[in-house]
Amino acid sequence: MLKGLFSNTREKGQHFEIIAEQYLVKQGLKPITRNYLCRFGEIDLIMMDADTWVFVEVKYRKGAAYGGAVNALSNKKQQCLRRSIYQYTQDFALHNRALRVDFVAIQGHSPHAIQWIKNVF
């Protein structure tokens, strides 16, 4: 059980971001950065898939209540993520580059069920 393993939600989030990053690396993606922060929000993972910049949102849920992890990407979060990605592309001059937004949903305890959804929006 995960309760008591993490001192706060930030620590828990970082733990599952590492799990997602390791999973994506095994799928052939290359990590660029983790936890990019700007005034609009945060991008959990930024990776490369060949020549495509991949912006990844990671969500963890312990169970299937309220739709589970796969249904945890709210419209508000999508809006913040879009703005954060736009800010990142401006900050790092990624004009006319191939971009993709992926979603990694992690659910349950060991072993975790991981769902990787490409081009989530």
Question: pLDDT per residue over 97-114, tens digit each?
Answer: 999 999 999 998 778 899
- Token digits for 41? 């929000």
Residue 49's H or E segment, with its range, is strand 41-49
Q: How many residues does the chain have?
A: 121
**Domain limits, the chain:** 9-110
Is 9-110 a CATH 3.40.1350.10 domain?
yes
Average confidence score pLDDT of the chain: 90
For position 9, what pLDDT does the model report? Answer: 77
- Token digits for 23? 């999973």
Residue percentage of the chain with pLDDT more than 90: 68
Distance CA 77, CA 94 (A): 22
Residue percentage of the chain with pLDDT more than 70: 93
- Token digits for 15? 């733990």
